[in-house]
């Protein structure tokens, strides 16, 4: 479980194809002695399990392995060496919930269709996959590349957000441009509400 509050900008050091999928080594500012092998870390919004780690004079790093389904359903298959990634360690009991509850289970990939830079913010408009658009609501929450963001406007499959300078500074969003593909996780509360509504109709 995560909150969508990015706490580190990682950098991909290496990528290796393995029988089960793909292994990625990521440089991090995290003290890797403070989490165990098997810990969960959201990498660009995708929950991954730490399979190896080290604290090194050349920089701390950890490794994750991405299965075939993850490669097929997320942007992980397009990761490249030297690419920056939004990172978040899993939520601990009693920690401040600054964003919204995020599972790290990406629903699909949204596309940036517009970016507009303003003096005090940046406007992004996205196109969501049609099957997930109904779960995105004005003033609701969505996790985009692991960042908890408030939805500004919704029009069919299109939705928009405004990002403040701080978010641009501490995440990968300053690098995002029109045409980029973004990992999307819809608000699980919206998903459960829709499921309950479906049962109430059939009942």
pLDDT at 33 over 70: yes
Write the pLDDT tens digit of every residue in 132-149.
999 999 999 999 999 999
Looking at the domain assignment, is residue 101 inside a domain?
no
Ramachandran region, residue 25 (left: φ > 0; alpha: ψ -120 to 50; beta: rest): beta
* Mean pLDDT taken over the chain: 93
**How sure is the predictor about 196, in pLDDT bands with cuts at 50, 70 and 90?**
confident
Q: Both 55 and 125 in a single domain?
A: no
Q: Both 75 and 129 in a single domain?
A: no
**Chain-centre distance of CA 50, in angstroms?**
16
Interval 112-141 mean pLDDT: 96
Instruction: Report the CATH number at residue 150.
Output: 2.40.30.20
Distances (CA, A) of 198 to 102, 154, 191, 203: 23, 22, 11, 9
Show the domain range for 129: 108-202
Looking at the domain assignment, is residue 182 inside a domain?
yes
Interval 155-161 mean pLDDT: 97
Terminal Cα-to-Cα distance of the chain (whole angstroms)? 32
pLDDT at 22 over 80: yes
Q: What is the DSSP string of 83-100?
A: -EEEEEEPP-TT----S-
Q: Which two tokens stand for residue 83?
A: 């690419």
What is the residue whose two structure tokens read 């049962």?
Answer: 199
What is the residue whose two structure tokens read 């490669």?
Answer: 71
Share of the chain above pLDDT 90, in %: 82
Q: Within 10 Å of residue 173's Cβ, how many Cβ atoms?
A: 21
pLDDT for the residue numbered 28: 98
pLDDT at 75 over 80: yes
Looking at the domain assignment, is residue 82 inside a domain?
yes
Contact 116, 15 (CB under 8 A): no
Q: Both 85 and 122 in a single domain?
A: no
Interval 82-91 mean pLDDT: 96
pLDDT at 41 over 70: yes
User: How many domains are there within the chain?
Assistant: 2
- In angstroms, the CA 144 to CA 184 distance is 5
Choosing from 89, 121, 146, the residue where a domain stops is 89
* CB contact set of 8 (below 8 Å; sequence gap of 6+): 28, 29, 30, 87, 88
Q: Both 84 and 112 in a single domain?
A: no
Q: Both 37 and 122 in a single domain?
A: no
Write the pLDDT tens digit of every residue in 179-192.
999 999 998 877 77
pLDDT for the residue numbered 152: 96
């Amino acid at each position: 479980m995560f909150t969508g509050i990015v706490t580190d900008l990682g950098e991909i050091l290496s990528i290796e194809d393995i029988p089960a999928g793909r292994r990625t080594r990521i440089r991090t500012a995290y003290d890797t002695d403070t989490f165990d092998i098997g810990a969960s870390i959201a990498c660009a919004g995708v929950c991954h399990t730490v399979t190896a780690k080290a604290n090194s004079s050349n920089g701390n790093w950890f490794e994750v392995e991405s299965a075939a389904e993850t490669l097929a359903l997320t942007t992980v298959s397009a990761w490249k060496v030297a690419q920056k990634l939004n990172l978040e360690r899993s939520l601990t009991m009693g920690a401040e919930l600054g964003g919204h509850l995020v599972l790290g289970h990406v629903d699909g990939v949204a596309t940036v269709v517009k970016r507009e830079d303003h003096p005090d913010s940046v406007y992004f408009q996205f196109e969501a996959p049609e099957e997930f658009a109904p779960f995105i609501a004005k003033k609701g929450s969505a996790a985009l590349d692991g960042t908890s963001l408030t939805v500004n406007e919704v029009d069919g499959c299109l939705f928009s957000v405004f990002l403040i300078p701080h978010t641009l500074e501490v995440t990968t969003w300053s690098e995002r441009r029109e045409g980029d593909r973004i990992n999307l996780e819809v608000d699980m509360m919206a998903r459960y509400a829709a499921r309950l509504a479906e049962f109430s109709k059939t009942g």
